[in-house]
Structure formats: structure tokens, C-alpha cells
Amino acid sequence: MSSDDLKNIIDKIKEGEVKMRPKSYFAAKTILMVVGLVLAILVALFLSSYVFFHLKASGAFGLAGFGLDGTKDLLLSLPWLILFVVLVFVALLLWFAEHYPIAYRNPLLYSVLGILLIVLVGGYAVANTPLHPYFFKVFAPPQKAGLMHMFYARPKRVPPRNGLVGHLKEIGQGYYLIINPNGAQFKIVINNDTNFVPEEVDFEIGDVVLIHGKISGREVEAWGISKINPGGPSIYFLGDH
């Protein structure tokens, strides 16, 4: 840079062509960053807690009790699109965090793990508050519409893979009849392939149960059956009936 360039810079400043940004500009920028950060945290927590709520409400969480096959079906029942959006928000939070010395002075892995932990543990905590059951009651009814309705109607609309939640209508010899949340009746066939039937549990008419099995039309060849506790987070107990 020549002395002409230096003169050029100073002249531009003196002539007012280049001006200092006021402190209020940086204060506003900081406030916007903080607001953005808080909003990103809230959205990430809401979405991750929704994933937990969805798994509980649809009965998918219960599939983990049916061994390896059940666990595999639980994983395949995850709302992957929503999880992807959660990951996008995790990346956004990481971008926010990397503007602050506490993040960039430490290994990136710590920030990644810290943010994931906040989103997962925070999400699980929020999922155990009455927030989602309340939203479910407000937005799930069929007469509602919009994004929130799509969200909260989903646990009822999308059953877990190879899973079925319903209440017992009839107990017969080698079969049960259950009614699913949409009012459809299913015949549950109990045979030698039914491995997970708790012997100590006495099923009674009206019990809410989770079936894991091969669903063909309105008949289910059961691999496992378990009772869902009343008062639990299943859609059956959330008041949409």
C-alpha cells in the first residue's frame, strides 16, 4: 500500500465517505444474535420434545419391549423428517455458538456434544411436561387445520411400524379384538409365533394394548402384546376420543 492509498483512506474518512458505525448498531446486532439464538434453542427443544411425545403417543416407544425386532421397528418408526429439521437447528446453534470465545476456544466436538445434549435432554424434559398433551387436545381434533394440526394428528394417523395401539373389545380363544384410535376393529391372532405375551398380566376388556406383529388388512399376526398403563402418554389417554 502506497502513501497515496493511506491518504485515500484518511481522506475518505474525513470527507465522510467512510463512517464509523455507531455503538447502537453493534448493540442491535448483539440483541438480534441473542434473540436468534434463543429462538433457535426454543424451536430445537420444541421439535426434539415433539419427537419424544410422538413416539410415546403413537405407542412406538413400547416397541422397544419386544426385543431386537421391536427395537428395529421403533427405529424405523422415528419421524425422520422432523429429526432432520432438529439436526438443521443443531447446526444453526453450532453456527451461533462458534461466534463466542467459549465455543471456538474449545474443540468443536465439545460444542457439538454440548448442543446435542441440551437438545436431547431438554427435549426429553419438555416432553414430560403437559405442553404437548395440551397442544394435542387443542390441535389434533379433525375439525382443526394447519401445521400444528398436521403435527398433532400425526401420532394417530401414522401408527408405528408393525405396531398397533387399541383397546380390547373382546378376548377369545387364540384371538383378541381391538379397536384402534380411528375406530377400526382388528383381529389379533395369538399363535406359536407370539413370543412376547406377559403371563403375569391379566388382560381385561377395555385395556389399552400395544400389539407388535404382522398386519394384513384388519388381521394382525401378533409377535408380542403389552398393556399400556392408564394415565400414560398414549393418544388413548390424551382426551381426543
Partner 1 sequence: MELSDEQLVEKTQKGDVESFRFLVERYKPKLTRYGSRLLFNKADLEDVVQEIFIKCYRNIKSFDVSRKFSSWVYRIAHNEFINHGKKFSRQLIDYFDFEVLLPKQAAPDNPQEDFDRKQLKEILEKSLAKLDAKYREALVLYYLEGLDYKEIAEILRVPTGTVGIRIMRGKKQLKQYLEPTT
Residues that bind partner 1 (CB under 8 A): 1-2, 5-6, 8-10, 12-14, 18-23, 25-26, 98, 101, 104-109, 112
Q: Which is nearer to partner 1, 20 or 81 (CB)?
A: 20
DSSP β-bridge partners for residue 212 = 163, 224
Using the minimum distance from each CB to partner 1, give the nearer residue, 81 or 109: 109
CB 191 within 8 A of CB 224: no
b/e map of 19-45 (b: 16 or more CB within 10 Å)? eeeeeeeeeeeeeeeeeebeebbebbb
Contacts of 141 (CB under 8 A, 6+ apart): 240
When the beta carbons of 102 and 205 are compared against partner 1, the nearer one is 102
Taking the least distance from each CB to partner 1, the nearer of 92 and 164 is 92
Judged by CB, which is closer to partner 1: 13, or 138? 13
Q: Are 160 and 73 in contact (CB under 8 A)?
A: yes
Measured from the CB atom, is 91 or 158 closer to partner 1? 91
Q: Least distance from C-beta 14 to partner 1, angstroms?
A: 6
Shortest distance, position 148 Cβ to partner 1, whole Å? 35
For residue 220, which of 191, 197, 198, 195 has the smallest C-alpha distance?
Answer: 191
DSSP string, 9-56: HHHHHHTTSS-PPPHHHHHHHHHHHHHHHHHHHHHHHHHHHHHHHHHH
Smallest separation, CB 98 to partner 1 (Å): 7
Task: Quote the least distance from Cβ 224 to partner 1, whole Å.
Answer: 41
Residue 96 CB, shortest distance to partner 1, in Å, is 14
Per-residue cell: 123: 427435549
The total of other beta-carbon atoms located within 10 Å of residue 84's CB is 9
Minimum distance of partner 1 from residue 104's CB (angstroms): 4
Count of all residues that appear for the chain in the document:
241
Name the minimum Å distance from CB 22 to partner 1: 7
The nearer residue to partner 1, 20 or 68, going by C-beta atoms, is 20
Please list the residues that pair with 208 across neighbouring strands: 167
